Amino acid sequence: MASIPPTRERGRGILIEMTRPGDDEMTTDQYTFTNPAELYADFEPKKQHQPEPGLDAELVPKADLGEKTYRGTGRLKGRRALITGADSGIGAATAIAFAREGADVAMSYLPEEDVDAQRIAQIMQDAGVKVMTLPGDLRDAAYCRDLVDKAVKGLGGLDILVNNGGKQVYNEDLATLDDDQFDDTFKTNVYAMFWITKAALPHLVAGSTIINTTSVQAYKPSEILVDYASTKATINAFTKALAQQLAPKGIRVNAVAPGPIWTPLQVTDGQPQEKIAEFGEQTPLGRAGQPAELAPAYVFLASAESSYVIGETLNVNGGTPTP
């Protein structure tokens, strides 16, 4: 089936009109029957370091974002989503999945991550949806509020919000955890969620959904991630409290709690170098997860099929027990 050539304008706040390509030629997808313990059997993380915020483009081995395997079925057709941290990792996999399910998407990410963001925008462009690229710093309250305003204007509304952008830097001794890192982690992970959600609420109609990214760290905090784990526990509580407040308005709030997932977060001092080679091996599945394995959870919580799911934290962690 022929398609109209897409508009290829890009940049800060530029709306990209999409066209849908012909049928894909996937041989496997997220529905393919497989043994999860053997999935990604050839994946071998290696010691490596990137300066913050890190890039998928330089990650070795590459993370699976579902580029070649996520098959959409129209579950989010006509929906309009804002996703933070959408350039790489879980956010990028979710953005690809949303686009292939038919949603228009506004992407938030740091300006330094533009190379990753433009690649993801192109993949979404191929799915035939509208995409906005809106770089900025989540620690900036003004940016967060402006982000929502631009997304609403550019997409013509908003009915899915995914607060996913995050910061994780390990520290082995509270005595050396300085105020700046503690503040940056809370502003990125918690304050931004508050600012963006508050700004989005006037635009969310009944049926809309908010999905926050928490972590297994909220339940099993590592001794080297005191600040990060604290933010994730906060996100859990925020999610469950806000869910009760908004349920009568028909707005659902839920969270996804990833386990050890292979993303640039891990190699930008998210983990000590000596732990990267064995990253994820402590899970019952015996391996790290891939961002592509998270995307279906976000699609489920964003779609109408989860209409009775409110205040839930959906754990996607390779089998680690949680409350």
Cβ atoms of 295 and 316 within 8 Å: the answer is no
In a 13 Å sphere around the CA of 78, the CA atoms on its Cβ side amount to: 3
Residues 6+ apart with CB under 8 A from 107: 83, 86, 87, 95, 117, 120, 121, 131, 132, 133, 134
Domains and CATH numbers, the chain: 14-19+40-316 (3.40.50.720)
Helix (H, G, I), strand (E, B) or coil at 285: coil
Question: For the chain, give me the number of helices (H) and strands (E)?
Answer: 9, 8
Tens digits of pLDDT across the chain (323 residues): 233 234 433 333 444 443 344 345 688 999 999 999 999 999 999 899 999 999 999 999 999 999 999 999 999 999 999 999 999 999 999 999 999 999 999 999 999 999 999 999 999 999 999 999 999 999 999 999 999 999 999 999 999 999 999 999 999 999 999 999 999 999 999 999 999 999 999 999 999 999 999 999 999 999 999 999 999 999 999 999 999 999 999 999 999 999 999 999 999 999 999 999 999 999 999 999 999 999 999 999 999 999 999 999 999 999 999 98
308 catalytic per annotation: no
Separation between Cα atoms, residue 153 and residue 263, nearest integer Å: 31
Q: Quick one: which H or E segment has residue 15?
A: strand 14-16
Beta-carbon count within 10 A of 197 CB: 21
Separation between Cα atoms, residue 118 and residue 136, nearest integer Å: 14
Cβ atoms of 302 and 76 within 8 Å: the answer is yes
Could you say which of 70, 109, 170, 228 is catalytic? 228
Q: How far, in Å, are 45, 84, 112, 114, 122 from residue 117 at the CA level?
A: 23, 11, 10, 5, 9
pTM: 0.92
